[in-house]
Amino acid sequence: MNRRSFLSATGSTVATLTAAQYSRVLGANDRLQTAVIGVNGRGKSHIRATARNDGMQVAAVVDIDQAVAEKAVAYTKQFQPETPKEYPDLRDMLADKDIDVVTIATTNHWHALSTIWAVQAGKDVYCEKPASHNIWEGRKMVEAARKYKRIVQVGQQSRSTPFKIEAIQQLREGVIGEVYMAKGLCFKRRKSIGSTQVSAVPPGVDYDIWLGPAQPHEFKQNRFHYNWHWHWAFGNGDIGNQGVHEIDVARWGLGIDHLPAHAYSAGGHYVYGDDQETPNTQHATFDYGERMLQFEVRGLITGGECRLLEDSGNGAHTIGVLFFGSDGFLTISNRGYQTYLGEKRIPGPSMEPTNDDTTGLHFENFRKAVISRRVSDLNCDVLEGHLSAALCHLANISYRTGDKLLFDPANERFVGNFGANTLLKRDYRSPWVVPEEV
């Protein structure tokens, strides 16, 4: 049995092979052949994590920008001797039978369709956060992963970060008593993106594929590399960019495995008169009955909160999660976690971060699950990614409609709000359509 036959098999005999048995089948030097889709920004981290993993190899890079793809190939060669193939169109890569797994670091509006197409092609998937661009397509990603029996990890690497794992375990063991609220912070300084005019598509860029599921938009540099985050057609604002990490940790810590019945968000795009559509200041509240989850975006100049101060090298950001309990509170940031106990807020258990490459750890967890064929081995299965992304989408829908939303978690529909329900999915552009039946 070769690598491709093993990974494509879904029979009980193959599915129950141990990791050791799998290694004997493949051979020690037969690594998972990996294609990285979208290699301009976060995709470089995917390349590095893949090439540094002894069980994986970057076999292909996929990007609609020829110059970006060429740079990615050169970057890959810093970490492995093999030269990856280049594909401008992900559909051609998905037809390559030698590719075992794909990793996705595209614009948010491409995450769902590329994941669904990949699992339909028999590939396992590592998809960047947020899992989806809207709630409806996130659920379709889950359905597709289950139907085609594929392993799909979402890139919320907090789930593989040692000090965050310990912090959540401390919460489970009652270090701050009964937890009644979690609050995620994305106080990430974002300066104005300015304004740009419609211009010609740069040479070597396949703009039609880049638009993909979105309706036609004339090319503007301010909607392209990275700044697409701040436009509703392609991104989800900072709550869906940085914030989904902290929302995921908040939900994880609260032990919540479903969506809330009530959600409300308000804010605005303040100070700057530029091309940005999404808010730079936003507050969201999700009511889970006996517990509450809150989230806040502050893109302008601000301070810290609850002893969680600026935690980046230049002091511009405060990013983390606060948990409040009957006996104290716990903070998590990139400096580790800290507890403060009792009425006098005495410092309790804490842990500083290690020097681990957390993306690398998350990739290794993904690789092991691909080998075991057990979804339960994933630290952040697509269902977890869908639920955390959906909270971001709930907040944005409330912000855009101006309504406090009543939500039916079982059917993932709003109750009595036609306008909000129209934002559960998008109007897809043929042929880049997420299907009703995956």
Three-state secondary structure readout of the chain: CCHHHHHHCCCHHHHCCCHHHHHHHHCCCCCEEEEEECCCCHHHHHHHHHHCCCCEEEEEEECCEHHHHHHHHHHHCCCCCCCCEEECCHHHHHCCCCCCEEEECCCHHHHHHHHHHHHHCCCEEEECCCCCCCHHHHHHHHHHHHHCCCCEEECCHHHHCHHHHHHHHHHHCCCCCCEEEEEEEEEECCCCCCCCCECCCCCCECHHHHHCCCCCCCCEHHHCCCHHHHCCCCCCHHHHHCHHHHHHHHHHHHCCCCCCCEEEEEEECCCCCCCCCCCCEEEEEEECCCCEEEEEEECCCCCCECCECCCCCCCCEEEEEEEEECCEEEEEECCEEEEEECCCCEEEEEECCCCCCHHHHHHHHHHHHHHHCCHHHCCCEHHHHHHHHHHHHHHHHHHHHCCCEEEECCCCEECCCHHHHCCCCCCCCCCCCCCCCC
Buried b / exposed e across 109-133, counting CB within 10 Å, b at 16+?
bbbbbbbbbbbebbbbbbbbbbbbb
Report how far residue 260's alpha carbon sits from residue 263's, in angstroms, rounded to the nearest whole number.
7
Which candidate, 26, 28, 77, places its Cα nearest to that of 51?
Answer: 77
Percentage of the chain modeled with pLDDT above 70:
92
Report residue 157 as tokens. 């690497």
Residue with tokens 């595209």: 106
Least confident of 56-65, 118-127, 310-319: 310-319
In CATH terms, the fold of domain 160-353+388-421 is Dihydrodipicolinate Reductase; domain 2 (3.30.360)
Query: pLDDT band for position 24 (50/70/90)?
Result: very low
Map out the domains of the chain as residue ranges. 3-157+359-381, 160-353+388-421
179 beta partners: 325
247 beta partners: none
CA angle 378, 379, 384 (to 5 degrees): 95
Report how far residue 368's alpha carbon sits from residue 174's, in angstroms, rounded to the nearest whole number.
31
Q: Answer whether residue 9 shows pLDDT above 80.
A: no
Least confident of 17-21, 345-349, 358-362, 374-378: 17-21
Which candidate, 394, 137, 108, places its Cα nearest to that of 259?
Answer: 394
Which candidate, 129, 103, 3, 36, places its Cα nearest to that of 392?
Answer: 129
Contacts of 137 (CB under 8 A, 6+ apart): 112, 113, 425, 426, 434
Report residue 35 as tokens. 């294609």
Report residue 332 as tokens. 């998590």
pLDDT of residue 14: 38
Q: Answer whether residue 70 shows pLDDT above 70.
A: yes
Is the bond leading into 88 cis (omega within 30 degrees of zero)?
Answer: no
Mean model confidence pLDDT for the chain: 93
CATH topology identical between 3-157+359-381 and 160-353+388-421: no
Q: Answer whether residue 425 shows pLDDT above 50.
A: yes
Is the bond leading into 130 cis (omega within 30 degrees of zero)?
Answer: yes
User: Quick one: residue 213, left, alpha or beta (phi over 0 = left, psi -120 to 50 = alpha)?
Assistant: alpha
Q: Answer whether residue 4 shows pLDDT above 60.
A: no
Q: What is the CATH number of domain 3-157+359-381?
A: 3.40.50.720
Q: How many CB atoms lie within 10 A of CB 16?
A: 11
pLDDT, tens digit, 9 for 90 and up, residues 233-271: 999 999 999 999 999 999 999 999 999 999 999 999 999
pLDDT, tens digit, 9 for 90 and up, residues 150-196: 999 999 999 999 999 999 999 999 999 999 999 999 999 999 999 99
